[in-house]
Amino acid sequence: MSQNEQKLLQRIAQLEAEVKNREEDLATYRRELSQANERLQNLMASLSRDLKVAAKIQRVLLPTEFPNIGGFEFSSKFVASAIQGGDYLDIFEHEDKMKFGVLISAATGFGMSSLLLSAILKFSGQIEARRGAKPEKVLAMLADEVLEDAGEADLADLFYMIVDRRSYTMTYCSAGENLALVQSYGTGELTLLKPQQGGLSTEGPRKFESSSVSLNPKDRLILCSRGAIEVKNLENESFGQERLFNALVSAPKTGVHDVRNHLLFEIKKFLSGREPTRDVTVLVAEVKDRVIKLATT
């Protein structure tokens, strides 16, 4: 055998060894990839179960019945999202039976939602709140309670209002992107109740202030969690504030349930079968036509 042939055989043997090593490396890589994929699938399944459990707990804690408030008619709907949840809505009477409160909140996820729900449950049982603490004080109480254990990425949007049925004055405090609107019966005009500050976060300010609005017979109050304007369709386009306004303007004038259903129908139609990217909560309230405003002293 010539020297060239020997070198060629040696080179072939070297290449075969390299191929064998690479095949072993590839087999090891495939095995590790398969194991990593299995771990990832187990983690995703576990997270999915956790989300489902958290969503179920949230739905259990959400009130299913509201008190009968004289002079007002209410209609509400909660649409859960499997992607990002955290909405809460409650209506409750105060110790002063001529007053009632409404609280709507939206959190960045189930973790922040659980902190918020815990604080809300604690707050709702406090005598001070039942006696009619001012809205800005209530939000400050919730902020102190929630943000102590919140993470840097956690965010909560809250709207809290008190209505005095003697004067039909609504006093409210809003932090974040929940939408609050008053629709005048006489003109049909929608007035946006602008938030006084951004949502609750560890980095944000905590300067809470209240504003007041006078309500007249047949006026409507519409509250929507931020999910109502942030849900996205198949083209990844948000429903947005303009579409929501248009849906409310074009809604039937026959009652609060029809208004609520029309708005949710427009959102569902916009989604075109896509899962809501956030929880969606809608509350429509209407002042009954026979109300008497008592003079304040």
Residue of 59 and 275 predicted with greater confidence: 275
pLDDT value, residue 60: 45
Verify that 53 and 151 share a domain, yes or no: no
pLDDT value, residue 140: 85
CATH code of the domain in which 174 resides = 3.60.40.10
Residue 81 has pLDDT above 90, yes or no: no
Verify that 183 and 237 share a domain, yes or no: yes
Verify that 37 and 115 share a domain, yes or no: no
Verify that 79 and 30 share a domain, yes or no: no
pLDDT value, residue 8: 67
Verify that 186 and 141 share a domain, yes or no: yes
Residue 297 lies in a domain: no
Q: What is the mean pLDDT of residues 167-178?
A: 93
Q: What domain range is 44 assigned to?
A: 1-61
Angle between helices 110-124 and 135-147 (to 10 degrees): 130
Per-residue pLDDT band at 203 (split at 50, 70, 90): confident
Q: What is the mean pLDDT of residues 128-150?
A: 74
Give every strand in the sheet of 87-93, ordered side by side: 87-93, 99-107, 156-164, 169-175, 211-214
Verify that 9 and 76 share a domain, yes or no: no
Residue 128 has pLDDT above 50, yes or no: no
Task: Confirm if 282 and 261 have CB atoms less than 8 A apart.
Answer: no
pLDDT in tens, 36-64: 667 766 555 544 544 554 455 445 445 55
Verify that 184 and 147 share a domain, yes or no: yes
Q: What is the mean pLDDT of residues 153-157?
A: 76
Task: Confirm if 152 and 203 have CB atoms less than 8 A apart.
Answer: yes
Verify that 49 and 101 share a domain, yes or no: no
pLDDT value, residue 53: 44
Nearest CA among 51, 107, 71, 54 for reference residue 281: 107
Q: What is the average pLDDT score of the chain?
A: 80
Q: Provide CB contacts within 8 A for 74, sequence distance 6+.
A: 66, 91, 256, 283, 284, 285
- What DSSP element (H or E) covers 139? helix 135-147
Residue 195 has pLDDT above 80, yes or no: yes
- CA–CA separation, 79 vs 278, rounded Å? 9
Nearest CA among 213, 88, 222, 128 for reference residue 163: 213
Verify that 126 and 205 share a domain, yes or no: yes
Per-residue pLDDT band at 283 (split at 50, 70, 90): very high
Per-residue pLDDT band at 296 (split at 50, 70, 90): low
Cα–Cα distances (Å) from 120 to 69, 113, 126, 160, 231, in that order, read 21, 10, 10, 11, 25
Residue of 267 and 106 predicted with greater confidence: 267
pLDDT in tens, 230-243: 999 999 999 999 99
By DSSP bridging, strand 179-183 and strand 220-224 are antiparallel
Asked which of 61, 90, 106 is the last residue of a domain, the reply is 61
Nearest CA among 81, 84, 110 for reference residue 276: 81
pLDDT value, residue 259: 96
Distance of alpha carbon 248 from the chain centroid: 20
Residue 90 has pLDDT above 60, yes or no: yes
The one-letter amino acid at 283: L
Q: Provide CB contacts within 8 A for 183, sequence distance 6+.
A: 189, 190, 191, 219, 220, 221, 222, 248
Verify that 274 and 247 share a domain, yes or no: yes
Of 55-64, 92-101, 200-209, the poorest mean pLDDT is in 55-64
Please state, for a pLDDT cut of 70, what percent of the chain lies above it: 73
Structure token pair of residue 109: 């996820």
Please state, for a pLDDT cut of 90, what percent of the chain lies above it: 36
Residue 252 has pLDDT above 60, yes or no: yes
Residue of 293 and 104 predicted with greater confidence: 104
Residue 107 has pLDDT above 60, yes or no: yes
Residue 297 has pLDDT above 70, yes or no: no
Verify that 56 and 71 share a domain, yes or no: no
Give the number of domains in the chain: 2
Of 18-22, 45-49, 83-87, the poorest mean pLDDT is in 45-49
Verify that 57 and 203 share a domain, yes or no: no
Residue 246 lies in a domain: yes
